Structure 1
Amino acid sequence: MIDLFLMSPPGRGWTLRGRSNFRSKDAPPVDAQQARREWLIFARALESRGGVVVALPSPSEDLTGLPYAAEGGLMLARSGAAPLFLLPRMISPHRRGEREHWGQLARRMGLEVVDPGAGIWEAQGDVATFDGVTIVFHGVRTTREGMEAATRYFPGEVMRLELLAPAFHGNMALLPLSVVDRLLVCPEVIAPPSYALLEKRFGRERLVTVTKDEIRSYATNCLPLGKELLAPSVLPERIRALVEGLGMKVTSFVLSELCEKGGGATRCLVNHGRLEPGSFQVPEENRLAAVAARMEAEG
């Protein structure tokens, strides 16, 4: 299987437009050039670890949410058929235009593009997998209707969980660390009946709890790749020590603009799929090397 990452670099005029999370709400203006440098360092780090980055340059300066690709859709591998790409149905008006461009890219890659067709569904931001279970979230942004519309495309066992504020996506409540057989989870932002489902299905000993304050510093919003956790530099020291104590390596990335101001951590910056070799193609103009060369030429 290939680790495929859909990503979108900030434009030269990138700004915070929606300011719809607790980081961006009162943040000072961003430095777009620094954001582009942060993005490129992180994207290259993924490819240096064996991943394939497919980059979607923004077609419009108005689409300021594109760098947070986790909400851009969801890739699902299928045996004997083209992978599915489920389009998002976002709550924020300024982000609704993104799906058209992600859909176009997915089609050029040979993926079958599907619109779930109902409700609000913020895609990979509200989906996780652990121990063969697809965990899907609703509440805060994704609605129950939107979750159910998307869920009918998921194979196998599915667990539905209700999310509570201040978490606005499931990736702020729960982080699978499959390589060490643990879930980092914040009980304070998961409805009690839903948390009980987690305990019953996976066992209390596999749930490693973090606090509401720690998720504000992205304790659950990091990107695991094998035995390495790619994290923003604001990750709390307790969480770093905890993860390293479980046997993983934590690597930090400075994301002063994209994370500390923009409100999206390493897991938010990618739409991650694991697809069979030969089940997709990468348009040459969307390869990271080509997009990086254009970015560097632009300054």
Structure 2
Amino acid sequence: MRTEAAWAALEGALARRVVAARAVAAAGGLDQPHADELRALVTVADTATRAHRADAENDLSRALVALPPVHEPELALQLADAGERVTLARRFYNDAVRDTRALRGDRFTRVFGLAGRAALPDYFEIAEHRRPEPVRRTAARVLLLDDADRVLLLSGTDPRAGASWWFTPGGGVESGEDLAQAAVREVAEETGLQLAPGDLVGPIWRRTARFAFVGVDYEQTEFYFAARSGAHPGRDELDTSGRTELEHQTLTGHRWWEHDDLAEIREQVFPVELADRLTEARLALDRGEPAEVVEVR
């Protein structure tokens, strides 16, 4: 019977999601309350009878949407794939239920007793919960070069994910700011180095990034300027007193990088092409203006 075959497929998709959610709860990337709640809801969904399965699966769906982003790429992919399979299987099952109920209601079927005595199948109604759209914002960043052509990078971490990386000073553009104003404000906050908008050359690069940071999904368009820092070899310290509380928690260090050392680094660096394109920043500074805005990764 088509309806029972569709139900079997839906059960398989729900079971796959239970396995993926249980793996996320066990991976160690969630805080204890979230992990405990997810384990409990997974158990309820996995053991629920058919009559109570929809309620249990709805509770699990809501919990999955409310979770912090899953930073383990393989687990995130498995969970997303399982969710899509549940959505498709539920639609297929409900289509089968609709057709079965319509056939049972047909006058010809009723008159000649072709429907048999089986109970009418019920729809499986669970909401298609999806994660909210990412926060979209524009950011301004600065390639700061000192008198020895070293470039300043900050090291950062996401406390929720345990990941770390190197990146250029900069951040989101606030209301009423243009790109240059945001760039010099962010540099002052993060490094203590004072620049004026007129010290910037660019933007020379543009980069679009999709990422999760401290539990928030972002889609960010970044514009990169180049500037001379006024710092010189032997004067590597920064003034970090202007950093926000979040920056104090997530910025873990800094370094003025020689090009050759930067080319050999094994840690994550953003933009990814920085070592290969650093000469472009130097040439833009020599010219005093960018040739064009280049897309980078």
TM-score norm. by structure 1 comes to 0.19
TM-score calculated relative to the size of structure 2: 0.19
Higher helix share: 2
Structure having greater relative contact order (Cα 8 Å, sep ≥ 6):
1
Q: Which has the larger radius of gyration?
A: 2
